[in-house]
Amino acid sequence: MTQDDLLQALLRGEKGAWEAFVRRYAGLVVAAVRGVAREAGEVEDLVQEVFLRLCRNDFRLLRSYDPTRAGLSTWITIVARSTARDALRRYRPVVVPIDAVPESQLAVDPPEPVHRLKLPEALLSPRQREIMTMLYDRDMEVAEIAAQLGIDPQTVRSAHHKAMIKLRAYFKTEE
């Protein structure tokens, strides 16, 4: 059956003509839609949308096909692409400005309470304990700590390193 015969049979409402039409042009429609779809999961829905548009209102769109302007395959490709683009525009998520979103939806859960470790008093020297507190509890930089304590930055790094060695050794024996 030629494409003109198939189209005429379809427009006359002959039984099986729609199935033959879909079988014949499904690959073409899928290829056209695949070029427009943003995600692989959208292709099937968009192909269905194209075929629905072609058969809607007693094949009104198919009846408007003019063979003097383009071949049927070309015309179906154009219809498939434009239908897919229209469908994607309709289903595009609405972007809401952040100022319009209630603060409660933007809230972040508070962090879980930090479990503070209880260290033996004699484990770290007073200076090591103070430097560790400044580094980890107050998030201070080495240069800030050195300036505040009136010592060289290398002394801060050295005290931190020695404190870490003591802590690793202490917690290794705890296991």
In a domain, 55, yes or no: yes
Q: What is the tally of structural domains in the chain?
A: 2
Residue 39: which domain range? 3-90
pLDDT tens, 51-65? 999 988 888 988 898
In a domain, 95, yes or no: no
Q: Are residues 12 and 81 in the same domain?
A: yes
pLDDT of the residue at 175:
55
Distance CA 70, CA 75 (A): 6
Residue pair 62/10 in contact (Cβ under 8 Å)? The answer is yes
Q: Are residues 84 and 144 in the same domain?
A: no
pLDDT tens, 81-132? 999 999 888 876 667 787 887 877 777 777 777 677 777 888 999 999 999 9
- Whether the pTM exceeds 0.75: the reply is no
Q: Are residues 134 and 65 in the same domain?
A: no
